[in-house]
A and B are shown apart, each in its own frame.
Chain A
């Protein structure tokens, strides 16, 4: 077998392992290690890489942003910010048809601006919004679906852990990616609200009763109550955009800020402090083990030249770049139904990115990289809410035992449709994603 063949053969082996419930990071690590063995004939290379590579992967300054953002998200949860965000959104939207559900989406968008994880956003907002939705007579499945979809805004709206990983894998500027994710994130929130409005008209019996309309003075007061969220967001994301500090510094400032707010609001005591460490520890270790496995596997793949050969092959086919892009996005949609977003990105970007970067979309390489990153971010997030195994659906459903899963499945399809329409629009008009970038740089 040539090394190229070994590289190609590693795909089915890796997928089989993953589907046999081998943890994804471990599977990539093993295939990388044994792949190097088969390609070089000895374990020396793999073992000597381990001497320094585990340490250097875990001690990366750019990746240190991840545990900091995760901790920031947990502090934000403890600080009661989800409560004030929901109240503010409700003050403005609550009186509309489906308004309480729209408020949940709006609050998710706000929370997403200080939290980089979908699951955390979905779980946090559910605690606040699910009881309210039930109180106003919203059907269980519609409520859970709304929150599952709203949760994906946690990752779409910067800061975003997945974008950090993408930026590092493709050597792109994190600040520029965050900036470009902003407009698609807002579009997602607006799209979900439209979806709710449509759903409320198709199924008026499931969309509850509207709240009473609030006077404007009261509305503005509710907005004033979210100043801590707004301040943290403006300082962190603004600081990163304007280059006042590095993304890691921004994450540290944000974590300290949300921590102080939680402390002042009385949400942070010894017990909750320790529990936020536990939650951060679990997710961080999970993410970094996948990062380590991916580093190993990708190191092996690079040695076998598979990414370059595949890229050359695809370019040689002479297909339309748009067709290749569509196929790649479809692969993500399918994979997203069974795999978590981070693993998917780490597994596929080293293979797909060289292909896309080599295609001619009539844009600069950087623009293509950023645009593609945002598109991938969105399609992997669709996976989080796609039945049967979307992670967000499970998280929310575990918080609302009264609602059967099938009800959530039915209602969430509306939101999936809204996601797919948005992806199509963003594919057809790259200028929407790149607008902010072209304006600022």
Chain B
């Protein structure tokens, strides 16, 4: 079970990473296109290249239309896709100094309660994201430049949100088992580092 969940979280993180890499390349191509476009419009270059500059410009050398919107949609997907890994490796920022003095038993209980609540919040986030998706679909909202339906990006993000909720519930179950069996099953800070 743990191998499956861990594999799922890692797969999502890789997927998110690949989308992030694609966005990085997209933004760089757009920057390059804009730079070339400016260059081809500049006086000296048009003087030297003449009609060729115009031909190049006509082929569409310039910034990528709507790169801004693609970054927004893509990065939202990537971040949602990153959450499961953070969840399963216990990567969230906490303040440990005051609980360090408490007994192992009490700490297990705190961890259990926290992770149950966390699972609840992740489910809530996924459900509300789905609600959001439905309303975007209903009102047929589209992005400004590319005119793609906003609900597409919501749907992509929903995949990550659902996996995060599933992993969150799994972690909560593990913590309950840890508390009642009084043993550590999954150490915080990552099982496989």
Stretch at the interface among B39-47, B53-61, B65-73, B178-186: B65-73
Q: Does A403 contact B (CB under 8 A)?
A: no
Size of the B side of the interface (Cβ < 8 Å), in residues, is 58
Contact B154 A55 (CB under 8 A): yes
Contact B93 A25 (CB under 8 A): yes
User: Which positions 335-374 of chain A face chain B at CB distance < 8 Å?
Assistant: 338-340, 342-343
- The residue on B at minimum CB distance from A16 is B98
A42-55 to B contact mask, C-beta < 8 Å, 1/0: 00000100111011
Q: How far is the CA of A57 from the CA of B79 in the complex (A)?
A: 10
- In the complex, which residues of chain B have a beta carbon less than 8 angstroms from the beta carbon of A284? 78-79, 82
B108-138 to A contact mask, C-beta < 8 Å, 1/0: 0011001001100100110011011001000
Contact B72 A60 (CB under 8 A): yes
Q: How far is the CA of A276 from the CA of B85 in the complex (A)?
A: 13
Instruction: Give, as a whole number of angstroms, the nearest-CB distance from B120 to chain A.
Output: 10
Contact B28 A253 (CB under 8 A): yes
Q: Which of B85, B92, B161 makes the CB contact (< 8 A) with A26?
A: B92
Check A252/B95 contact, CB under 8 A, given A21-B110, A50-B124, A61-B71.
no
Contact A249 B83 (CB under 8 A): no
A212-245 to B contact mask, C-beta < 8 Å, 1/0: 0000000000000000000000000000000001
Instruction: Give, as a whole number of angstroms, the nearest-CB distance from A115 to chain B.
Output: 16
Check A20/B86 contact, CB under 8 A, given A26-B92, A47-B128, A289-B92.
no
- In the complex, which residues of chain B have a beta carbon less than 8 angstroms from the beta carbon of A18? 94-95
Q: How far is the CA of A382 from the CA of B189 in the complex (A)?
A: 24
- In the complex, which residues of chain A have a beta carbon less than 8 angstroms from the beta carbon of B23? 64, 68, 252
- In the complex, which residues of chain B have a beta carbon less than 8 angstroms from the beta carbon of A338? 95, 97
- In the complex, which residues of chain A have a beta carbon less than 8 angstroms from the beta carbon of B28? 249, 252-253, 256
Check A280/B20 contact, CB under 8 A, given A59-B76, A285-B79.
yes
User: Which positions 20-37 of chain A face chain B at CB distance < 8 Å?
Assistant: 20-26, 29-30
Contact B82 A282 (CB under 8 A): yes
Q: Does B51 contact A (CB under 8 A)?
A: no
Q: Does B91 contact A (CB under 8 A)?
A: yes
Contact B110 A20 (CB under 8 A): yes
Contact B24 A252 (CB under 8 A): yes
Q: Which of A20, A252, A286 makes the CB contact (< 8 A) with B91?
A: A286
Which of A25, A52, A285 counts the most B-chain CB atoms under 10 A from its CB? A285
Q: How far is the CA of A19 from the CA of B99 in the complex (A)?
A: 7
Q: Does B173 contact A (CB under 8 A)?
A: no
Check A68/B153 contact, CB under 8 A, given A248-B27, A248-B71.
no
- In the complex, which residues of chain A have a beta carbon less than 8 angstroms from the beta carbon of B121? 26, 29-30
- In the complex, which residues of chain A have a beta carbon less than 8 angstroms from the beta carbon of B118? 23, 26
- In the complex, which residues of chain A have a beta carbon less than 8 angstroms from the beta carbon of B24? 68, 71, 252, 255-256, 259
Contact A277 B86 (CB under 8 A): no
- In the complex, which residues of chain A have a beta carbon less than 8 angstroms from the beta carbon of B117? 22, 26, 30
Q: Which of A30, A67, A280 makes the CB contact (< 8 A) with B75?
A: A67
- The residue on B at minimum CB distance from A343 is B93
Instruction: Give, as a whole number of angstroms, the nearest-CB distance from A120 to chain B.
Output: 14
Contact A64 B71 (CB under 8 A): yes
- In the complex, which residues of chain B have a beta carbon less than 8 angstroms from the beta carbon of A30? 117, 121
Contact B31 A59 (CB under 8 A): no
Q: How far is the CA of A102 from the CA of B11 in the complex (A)?
A: 42
- In the complex, which residues of chain B have a beta carbon less than 8 angstroms from the beta carbon of A67? 20, 75, 78-79, 82
- The residue on A at minimum CB distance from B96 is A21
Contact A245 B99 (CB under 8 A): no
- In the complex, which residues of chain A have a beta carbon less than 8 angstroms from the beta carbon of B85? 278, 281-282, 285
B155-185 to A contact mask, C-beta < 8 Å, 1/0: 0010001000000000000000000000000
Contact B114 A64 (CB under 8 A): no
Known A-B contacts: A21-B98, A67-B20, A67-B75. Give 19 more (CB < 8 A). Answer: A18-B94, A20-B110, A21-B111, A25-B92, A26-B121, A54-B161, A55-B132, A58-B157, A252-B28, A277-B13, A277-B14, A278-B10, A278-B85, A280-B17, A281-B81, A282-B89, A284-B78, A285-B86, A288-B82
A-B interface, 6 closest residue pairs, ranked by CB to CB distance from nearest: A277-B17, A285-B86, A59-B76, A23-B92, A252-B27, A51-B132
Residues of B within 8 A of A (CB): 10, 13-14, 16-18, 20-21, 23-25, 27-28, 30-31, 68, 71-73, 75-76, 78-83, 85-87, 89, 91-99, 107, 110-111, 114, 117-118, 121, 124-125, 128-129, 131-132, 135, 153-154, 157, 161
Q: Can you name 22 A-B pairs with beta carbons within 8 Å?
A: A21-B94, A26-B118, A30-B121, A54-B161, A58-B76, A59-B72, A59-B75, A61-B72, A64-B72, A67-B20, A71-B20, A253-B27, A256-B24, A274-B14, A281-B17, A282-B89, A283-B91, A285-B83, A286-B93, A288-B82, A340-B93, A388-B97
